Structure 1
Amino acid sequence: MKNISHLFNDVYAPVKALLIHQSPKGDKSYVEAFDIGANGRPINAHPLSVNETISLAESLNTSTGFNNNFLKSEGLLPGKVLYIHPSRDGFAVWHTREQEVDLLFKEGLQIPSGKSYVPPLIWKATKNDLYLYAIKTIGKVSAKTPLFRAPFFNLYENDRVCMGTVDTGMEQVHSLEDFMAQWERDFWGSYFSHLIGEHSPVQGNIVQLWQQQVKTRQKFPLDVLTPKQKTIKDILV
């Protein structure tokens, strides 16, 4: 936990006040700004200027809650990046190819932890949430590429990953490259423990599937993936 006790004695003096006016119908509004006089009372009422608006936006953008530097690349965009939405609640979408990874399973599943192949995946992540999808496309993907349910435990029906008590450490992420790497590390480094909901994300028995995959270390059988009736284009919102 970060120690902020040294900030408790800082004194902040008011310098500006904002008053928001709204029309009776609520469809129009404008912001009036006030300077704060020496006696602490608002003076010099005036419409919020362009410079004041920019200053306010920059101030909000540098706060911890709204900072989206994690969507800025250190250089040229990595080849696996498909889409970036650079808003206050921004997110990135990226693609990983078929690969062999280390998988961790809780003992209760009776699946041994170990290396296994996983299918090509589409990752969509904000600073707080991760959504995961599988695809059958081995080569280049496009907006029309069909999506399938990711064949893993710990996923909600809406494809959001349940990270449990995992500390994602996103406060220390300051670039797009670190952001993607952190999410991938956190996902593969967490234990698969349970299904969420009544339906298996694969066609067939998911426990038997991963028992076989870890045992044989064969390529992932794409025919067991369950279609989402969506394409990559549908998740770019």
Structure 2
Amino acid sequence: MQFELQTPFSELRAQKAIIVYATPGGQLHMAYQHDILATEQGAVLGPGQQVTEQLIQAMQHMNGLRQEQLTLLPPEIIAISGKRIAWTVPGRVRPMALRSNNRSVQAFDGVPLPHPHLLFIAGPGTLHVYALGSSDRPQGDTPLYRAPYMNIFINNQMCRGTVPLPQDPNISQLAQYEDLFFLSNSTGGDVFLPDTIASYQHLLELCQERGHFDPQWLVPTGQTLGDVIQGSRL
């Protein structure tokens, strides 16, 4: 097939053509893409290939046809990008799954206890957990604290073990992340504690006795929310 090509922009050149095939009754049936080839006789169509999803998406973006929907963010969301989400988890009384060789710690498995206010940052297959000193919405200069739990590395990342953390976090999964963290067995590792608290067992006993989590039981990370958000490249 030979044809004449005209474009409204002198710097642009026709590269592909899409031919839509229909039945005699006019029902659209399939579409093929063809490279436009320059020959001595003029422009001709190359062999047809099935239209790819990649080409369709590129056309939508080029012509402004693709309209991205706005997403309503819940108030606990602090920051969000295409790959990571940061949100606050209010401190409250809830059970936690524990697996410890220390019988005194193991005794608290599944026992509802008060927890501090937390900051979760989810990435592809990862979860970082920090503690907050108050229920106020954190700002860039808000100091962050060590999350007082087992299974937290020194870089504040959760040791996932066999926990199936999502590879593509989104805001519909916030409750799922919290369940994965609190209801998956914490099996070991050092818990960051201030000098006034002798052991993790002691911390659990204080939580049970007082009925609330005292921010004085937290250990500073030396970082602010701004430091962490910028460092994680959300």
CA contact (8 A) 2:87 2:121 kept: yes
Give me the whole-angstrom Cα distance separating, in 2, the residues matched to 1:228 and 1:137. Answer: 15
Out of 73, 78, 95, which is 1:77 matched to? 73
The code of the aligned residue for 2:151 comes to N
Out of 170, 176, 193, which is 2:171 matched to? 176
CA contact (8 A) 1:123 1:133 kept: yes
Q: Is 2:91 aligned against 1:98? A: yes
Give me the whole-angstrom Cα distance separating, in 2, the residues matched to 1:202 and 1:74. Answer: 42
Give me the whole-angstrom Cα distance separating, in 2, the residues matched to 1:224 and 1:152. Answer: 12
CA contact (8 A) 1:94 1:123 kept: yes
Shift of the 156–146 alpha-carbon distance from structure 1 to 2, 3 Å rule, reads same
Give me the whole-angstrom Cα distance separating, in 2, the residues matched to 1:174 and 1:159. Answer: 18
Give me the whole-angstrom Cα distance separating, in 2, the residues matched to 1:165 and 1:221. Answer: 31
CA contact (8 A) 2:76 2:88 kept: yes
Runs (4+) of structure 1 exceeding 4 A deviation are: 56-59, 72-75
Out of 186, 202, 216, which is 2:193 matched to? 202
Structure 2: 5+ residue stretches without partners = 1-14, 16-35, 39-52, 59-67
The residue correspondences of 1:136-215 to structure 2 (distance < 5 A) are 136-168=133-165, 170=166, 175-177=170-172, 179-196=173-190, 200-203=191-194, 204=197, 205-213=199-207, 215=208
CA contact (8 A) 1:99 1:117 kept: yes
**Count of matched residue positions in the alignment of Structure 1 and Structure 2:** 170
The equivalent of 1:55 in structure 2 is: 54
Specify the SS of the correspondent of 2:223.
strand
Shift of the 73–148 alpha-carbon distance from structure 1 to 2, 3 Å rule, reads farther
Structure 1: 5+ residue stretches without partners = 1-32, 34-42, 46-53, 60-71
TM-score scaled by length of structure 1? 0.62
Cα offset, 1:176, TM superposition: 1.4
Specify the SS of the correspondent of 1:182.
helix
TM-score scaled by length of structure 2? 0.63
The equivalent of 1:222 in structure 2 is: 215
CA contact (8 A) 2:94 2:113 kept: yes
The equivalent of 1:231 in structure 2 is: 224
The equivalent of 2:32 in structure 1 is: none
Query: Which entry has the higher C-alpha Rg, 1 or 2?
Result: 2
The code of the aligned residue for 1:202 comes to L
Shift of the 58–206 alpha-carbon distance from structure 1 to 2, 3 Å rule, reads farther
The equivalent of 1:126 in structure 2 is: 123
Shift of the 57–185 alpha-carbon distance from structure 1 to 2, 3 Å rule, reads farther
Out of 92, 97, 102, which is 1:109 matched to? 102
Cα offset, 1:129, TM superposition: 0.1
Shift of the 107–159 alpha-carbon distance from structure 1 to 2, 3 Å rule, reads closer
Give me the whole-angstrom Cα distance separating, in 1, the residues matched to 2:69 and 2:228. Answer: 21
Specify the SS of the correspondent of 2:101.
helix
CA contact (8 A) 1:130 1:161 kept: yes
Identity %: 23
Cα offset, 1:165, TM superposition: 1.1
